[in-house]
Chain A
Amino acid sequence: AQSVTQPDIHITVSEGASLELRCNYSYGATPYLFWYVQSPGQGLQLLLKYFSGDTLVQGIKGFEAEFKRSQSSFNLRKPSVHWSDAAEYFCAVLPLGAAGNKLTFGGGTRVLVKP
């Protein structure tokens, strides 16, 4: 069955430390891939997206993600976390041929930043 999995429900990281959030997908053909962030009291915001080409994608707020076809993964990283990065992060996919905005989201990873 087609699915998007974020194995880590919660992650706690110290401010200034690096962060990596995992995302795995299961689709017949590589879908379009996205990371969104949901901060308290705010709507979801797109961090970055991958359609094709360079497998290392740069996004906003200092985030990057690496697409690995062999592992069906699209992990999100940030070298040095700031307290304002505390939020919930969602990996999402858009299968090829799907309705324009029918994104399928993973269950999310909540990030807590320690001072």
Chain B
Amino acid sequence: ETGVTQSPTHLIKTRGQQVTLRCSSQSGHNTVSWYQQALGQGPQFIFQYYREEENGRGNFPPRFSGLQFPNYSSELNVNALELDDSALYLCASSSGLAGNTGELFFGEGSRLTVL
């Protein structure tokens, strides 16, 4: 069983640039969630995709957007990067909406540094 994989693992961008982060969900999982984890803090929910549609969003501006593909992989796009966007971005997959079980399978994350 293949786990959740994310790419790239590390990247550096400058303010105003755009970034795309990628996630391959665990085999058999059709729901993907994205979280932002700033240094020294707990993860914060960005949004969730189920069957290629956004299904729930946290308190993040529209410049954070995403996609889910037919194979259930996903992208997180962030436009007009700001310094505060520097963080570890975590992708998590689950089967269906997991019946609200909260059992998410996380990738190791993509660490974004904005200079």
A-side residues, CB < 8 A to B, are 4, 32, 34, 41-46, 49, 51, 90, 92, 94, 98-108
Contacts and interface: CB of A to CB of B under 8 A. Distances in A.
A74 to B, nearest CB: 13
A49 B103 contact: yes
How many of chain B's residues touch chain A, expressed as a range?
20 to 34
B103 A102 contact: no
Interface of B: 3-4, 31, 33, 40-45, 48, 50, 55-56, 58, 90, 92, 94, 96-109
A17 to B, nearest CB: 25
Contacts of A105: 42-44
Contacts of A49: 101-103
B102 to A, nearest CB: 5
A102 B106 contact: no
Given A43-B109, A100-B55, 8 more contacts: A43-B4, A43-B106, A43-B108, A99-B55, A100-B31, A100-B96, A103-B43, A105-B44
Nearest to A34: B102
B43 A44 contact: yes
30 contacts: A4-B42, A32-B100, A32-B102, A43-B3, A43-B4, A43-B90, A43-B108, A43-B109, A44-B104, A44-B106, A49-B102, A90-B42, A92-B42, A98-B56, A100-B50, A100-B55, A100-B56, A100-B98, A100-B99, A101-B31, A101-B45, A101-B48, A101-B56, A101-B97, A101-B102, A101-B104, A103-B43, A103-B45, A103-B104, A106-B42
B42 A100 contact: no
Contacts of A100: 31, 48, 50, 55-56, 94, 96-100
Contacts of A32: 100, 102
